[in-house]
Amino acid sequence: MGPVYRTSNRLPAWILLFVALGAAVVINAKGRPSVGTGLLGALCLLVAFLALSSIRFKVRAEPSYLVVCSGGPTRKIPWSDVKGFGVDERRGRNVYVVVPGDKKMLLPIPDVRTGKITATQVQEDLQRYWKSRRRR
């Protein structure tokens, strides 16, 4: 198993998820909902959805492919499709993988964006693992 990167603030995201869902239920449980309470409940559900998405952020290097989950469907990119990794030159806090067609796919690693780990460190770890898989 290779490097695994996931959000380090999972506990706050879980708390936000349950608070937002609870608030949506409480707001809309009192009798007949009005337009205002319906909109407020919808806003709470949106916040809950975003919290749930952030819990799922993950990049994991496995022996046969790179697993990328940005909160939606999980993508499994075979190592044969990976052309390399890079750091966004403009921002410096985004790591991407280069896939066929020279497309750059951003990797969802919140700890890089917040500065807890450097983008260069993540790029080097993934690049090293990818090169070791490519030789086999």
Asked whether 62 and 78 are in contact (CB, 8 A), the reply is no
Largest CA distance in the chain: 65
Note the pLDDT tens digit of each residue in 98-107.
Answer: 998 889 988 8
User: Quick one: pLDDT band at residue 111, thresholds 50, 70, 90?
Assistant: confident
Note the pLDDT tens digit of each residue in 18-76.
Answer: 999 888 888 878 777 788 888 888 898 898 888 887 777 888 888 888 998 887 788 99
Asked whether 113 and 85 are in contact (CB, 8 A), the reply is no
0.75 exceeded by pTM = no
Asked whether 41 and 27 are in contact (CB, 8 A), the reply is yes
Q: What is the pLDDT of residue 136?
A: 54
pLDDT at 135 over 70: no
Asked whether 91 and 116 are in contact (CB, 8 A), the reply is no
Domain 57-134 listed as CATH 3.40.50: no
Q: What is the pLDDT of residue 117?
A: 87
Domains of the chain by residue range? 7-55, 57-134
User: Quick one: pLDDT band at residue 5, thresholds 50, 70, 90?
Assistant: confident
Rounded Cα distance, 103 and 63, in Å = 22
Q: Residue written as tokens 């090293």? A: 128
